[in-house]
Structure 1
C-alpha cells in the first residue's frame, strides 16, 4: 500500500505491489531494497521528502529521473530512500523566467513532442526516448542534432536544485535554490556544475530552463544500411570501413562544415550479431541537397570496402531493426524520424564504457577491435581467450561528433571535451545473472587492450590547461559511467577517474560541492568527492 505524506510525495514501501519495480532501473544488474521510495510531484514534495528522510536518520538517499543510470549510483544495497522524479514531467514556457522549463522527470521523447508541437523548437538531446532529463542534461546531453546545434547544456539558462543545509548539531533543512547563467559567485558555480558535472552530486535537480532553443529540420533523410559478417567481412575490409569513418569525421567536424547537419552512428557489432550497421540522418529541408550529402557520405564510408549492402534487420545494441532503408533512404518529417530512432533497448543487464576521440582510429586500435569482434585470438600469450566469447549483443557504437559542439570553450561549461570528432560507447548486454563475470570480463579486456599504451584508459588531451595536439583520445563521458575507471586493476595510468571525465574542470566542480553539499548527502561511487 502507499500513502501521501503532506508535502513529501507518495511513499511506496515493501508491502506495495510497485515496490519491486521501483527498486530497479533500466539496467537490471542493479537493484536495491530501500526503506521506501518517494514518488514526488513538486519541488515542495522534494523538500519535504529530504527533510523527512534525513531527520529520521536516513542519510543514504538517491534520486531517479528516467532510471537509465548504467552503474549502481541509484540502485545499490546501501540506499535507504529513493526519490523518484518521474511524475515531475511538465514542459512549458515560463514567462517569468523568459525561458522554456523542463522538469527533471520528463523524458527525451516527452520533451521533443511537447516543445515541437507547441513551439516548433527542440532540445539537441539524445535519441533514447525514455532517458530522463534529470541525469541526461546534467551530464551534458547530446544527440543527432548536436553537430548542427551543440550540446543540450549549451542552451541551459537556469537550474533549480534542492540542496541541504544543517546548523551545527541541528536538524537538516532542505531548500530549493535557482541558479542562473548570469548569476555570480557560488550561484554561478552551481549553474555551471549542472552543465556537464553529472547527476547525484550537489542536490536534487527539479527543473531546468532553456533559452534560444533551435529549430529542428523540417524534414530529414534517414538511412540504415548494414554489411553481413558472412558476406565477406575480412580484416582488411573491416579496417578500411573503420578508417573511412574516422577519416570522414576528421575532415568534416569543423564548425560550419557542409556536413554539420549530418549525424551518423556506426555499429561495430560482434560477429555473432550477423551484421555491422550504419544509421545516418541528414537535414532534408532542401531535399536534393540533403540527398546529395547523404549519398556522398555513404560513398566515402564504403570507398574501397567492397561489401554488398544489406538490410539493417537485426538488433544492434539499443537500436531495433530498421529495415527497408539500405537501398533507398526515407524522406521523413524530423519528428517522425526521431520517433523511428527512439530506441532504448530491452530492459536487461549491461556493461558500458566510453571514449572521446580527437583523431581517427590508430591501426593498433583497429586491430584489437577486429580481434575481439571477430573472435580472432588477440594475444596467444595472455590468459584471456577472447575467441570463446560469442554474444550477438556486444558492440562498439561510434557516433559522429564535433562541429557546433566544438565552438564552446572547455571551461565555459563543465564538459571539458570540446574538440572531439567521435564519441565511442562500448556495450554488452545479457539477461542471465550467472553470466555476469563472462560479459564483464570481455568488455574490460577489450577496453584495456584498445588503450594498452595508455594504462588501459583513453587519456584526456589536456594537462594543466595545455592540450596535446597529437592526443588521439580525450577521456570519457560521465553519462556513460564506468566504475572500472576507479580501479587500480583496470586503470593502470596515473590519471584518476575524475580527470578522465572532467579534465581540468574538476577543481571548480569540487568547489561547488564544498559550497552546496558540504555534508556529502548526495554521493555515489563516482560522485564529486
Structure 2
C-alpha cells in the first residue's frame, strides 16, 4: 500500500490517518493509495494514474468534512488529497485573486485579510476545505451582506477525465470561456461540483469585497424549564420575523438544542457597514441588542448562558457575547466563531424555508427536542440540535438559475444535527457494542426530520408544498436518507438539492455531467447521474 508522487516517485505507506474522515463514522478500510499533488502538473499526472488503475474507486478530499461516506467508505481504493495545494494570492496573468482547493477556511480568511484586506462570504468552520466548500455553494456569516461564495466565483481550474483518450486533462473554465461546454461546466461548478465533474485545483475571484472594519457579537439564551409549547411556538415565530427584519450586516444562528442541554440560545454577529465609523457601528449594534432582548424577552425571560452553544457552523468552545455585546475587530470575530468542533460521530440533515414555521412543524420540533430515543441516556443527547440560520439578503438578489444553487427566496436555512462519542477504535464505531448508540441517534434525527415534513411526504419538498414554505435541502449538507444510486432513489435527493437545475431547465446538471464525465468516473452515492 503506497502513495506516489508523480514528480519524485517517492513512496510512503498508507497510514491510519489516511483512512479516517473528520466525521468518525466514515472509514476507508480498503484504501491502497493516496496521491498528494503539489502543483498542476502533478495533479494531472496523479489523477491520470489513479483513475487508470482504480476507476470509480478514486475519491477526492480537501478538508475531509463530508457529512456522508462519499469519500471514506469500504470501496475507496485511492484518494487524491488536495491538502498540499494550499496557496492564496493574486494571479497577475488571470487578474484575479485565487484560492487553491487544499486551503481550509481559516487560512483563506487569514490570507485574504492579511494580504489584501479582502474576504469571502464563506463558512465558519475553520478546517473545512475549500475544495468542496466553495463548489458546493458556500455560505456563512457574511452571506446576507455579500451573497454565497459561488456568487463571487469568476473561474475554476479543474482536472477532468477524457473518456475518449483515457487521459486526465486540465481546464480553465469561466463564464467567458470560448466554448459553451466550458461555460456550462463553470455554471455547474458554482454549487454542484462536489465529486461530480473532476478534481478542482483552484478558484478565481476577479472581485472580492473588502473585509469589514469591525464586528460585534452577542447571544441570547433561555432555560428549557421556562419554555412550554406555547412560548416555544412564539419564540420560533418571533425568530422568523427577526431574520426578515435584520439589516444585511447581521447574521444569526438560533440553536434549538435538545432539552437535555438545559438551555437554548441565539448568536448574532453584526459587521460594520461601509462608511460607518466604529463608534457609529457600536451605537447601532447596542441599540439593536437592546431591542432584540426586549423583543424576545417578552416571550420568555433571558438567563445567562452557562456553557457554549454547540453545532455547525459556529461551534465555539467559550461563551461569547454573553449578557452584553462583544465589540471586536473583524479578525477577532473570525477567530471567535471559527470552530469546527471535536472529531465525533455525527449525522446531519438540512432544509431551506421561504416562510415562518407552520404550527405542525413547530409542534414536531418541540416534541423531538424533548425526546430521548431508546438506547442512549439523556446526557448523550445534549449536543443534538436543530440550528436555524438566517438567510436572505444579498443571496435573494441572484436568479435561481444563475448558479447551480436554486434556493434564492429562502429566509432561513436549517441544519439538523446529532453527535455522539465512544471509545471505539477507528473504523469500528458501528460495530457492537457501539452500534446501539449509533442506531439510536440516527433513528432520532431521521424520525424527527420525517415528522417535521410529514405534510410534504417526509422531506422539505417544494413540489408537495403549494404554500411555498419549504425549498429543498443543501448539497453541502448531504443526507443519504434522501436517496442514493444504490437504492435507485438518487433523483429524489438531487431534486431537493437542485430543483429545476437538476434536470428540467435547458441548462441542467445531468446534461453537463453527460458531456464532461460520460464514463461516470467521478461517482459517489449522490453524484449527478449521466442519464
Unaligned runs of 5+ in 2: 273-277, 423-428
Between the aligned partners of 1:242 and 1:470, the Cα distance in structure 2 is 18
Aligned pairs (5 A) from 1:241-256: 241-249=235-243, 251-252=244-245
Aligned partner of 1:332 in structure 2 is 328
Aligned partner of 1:6 in structure 2 is 6
**1:451 maps to 2:453:** yes
Between the aligned partners of 1:491 and 1:315, the Cα distance in structure 2 is 38
For 1:174, which of 157, 168, 171 is the aligned residue?
Answer: 168
Between the aligned partners of 2:82 and 2:9, the Cα distance in structure 1 is 10
Aligned partner of 1:379 in structure 2 is none
Between the aligned partners of 2:10 and 2:367, the Cα distance in structure 1 is 51
Superposed CA offset, 1:261-316 (max 9, x none): 1100000000111210211001244221232233333433x143222321252352
Between the aligned partners of 2:12 and 2:206, the Cα distance in structure 1 is 36
**Displacement of 1:485 after TM fit?**
0.3
- Contact 1:11 1:38 (8 Å CA) reproduced: no
Aligned partner of 2:354 in structure 1 is 358
**1:31 maps to 2:27:** yes
Aligned partner of 1:99 in structure 2 is 96
Aligned partner of 1:342 in structure 2 is 338
- Contact 2:222 2:300 (8 Å CA) reproduced: no
Runs ≥4 in structure 1, deviation > 4 angstroms? 1-4, 8-12, 384-390
**Displacement of 1:148 after TM fit?**
0.5
Change in 2 beyond 3 A, CA 1:224/1:446: same
The alignment of Structure 1 onto Structure 2 pairs a total of residues equal to 501
Aligned partner of 2:517 in structure 1 is 517
- Contact 2:472 2:497 (8 Å CA) reproduced: yes
For 2:262, which of 271, 274, 280 is the aligned residue?
Answer: 274
For 1:162, which of 159, 163, 170 is the aligned residue?
Answer: 159
Q: Which moved more, 1:125-134 or 1:432-441?
A: 432-441
Change in 2 beyond 3 A, CA 1:69/1:495: closer
Aligned partner of 1:199 in structure 2 is 194
Aligned pairs (5 A) from 1:369-384: 369-375=365-371
Between the aligned partners of 1:28 and 1:10, the Cα distance in structure 2 is 29
**Displacement of 1:113 after TM fit?**
0.4
Between the aligned partners of 2:306 and 2:17, the Cα distance in structure 1 is 33
Change in 2 beyond 3 A, CA 1:430/1:43: same
**RMSD of aligned alpha carbons:** 2.5
TM-score (norm 1): 0.90
Between the aligned partners of 1:151 and 1:283, the Cα distance in structure 2 is 17
Between the aligned partners of 1:446 and 1:140, the Cα distance in structure 2 is 26
**Displacement of 1:57 after TM fit?**
4.6
**Displacement of 1:22 after TM fit?**
1.4
- Contact 1:395 1:427 (8 Å CA) reproduced: yes
Change in 2 beyond 3 A, CA 1:211/1:292: farther
**Displacement of 1:144 after TM fit?**
0.3
Aligned partner of 2:415 in structure 1 is 425
- Contact 1:10 1:39 (8 Å CA) reproduced: no
TM-score (norm 2): 0.89
Superposed CA offset, 1:10-55 (max 9, x none): 65434xxxx2111111101010031111122112112111221233
Aligned partner of 2:66 in structure 1 is 69
Superposed CA offset, 1:376-424 (max 9, x none): 9xxxxxxx87998651011000000001000000000000000000000
Superposed CA offset, 1:123-170 (max 9, x none): 110000000001001110000000001000000000011001133xx6
**Displacement of 1:469 after TM fit?**
7.4
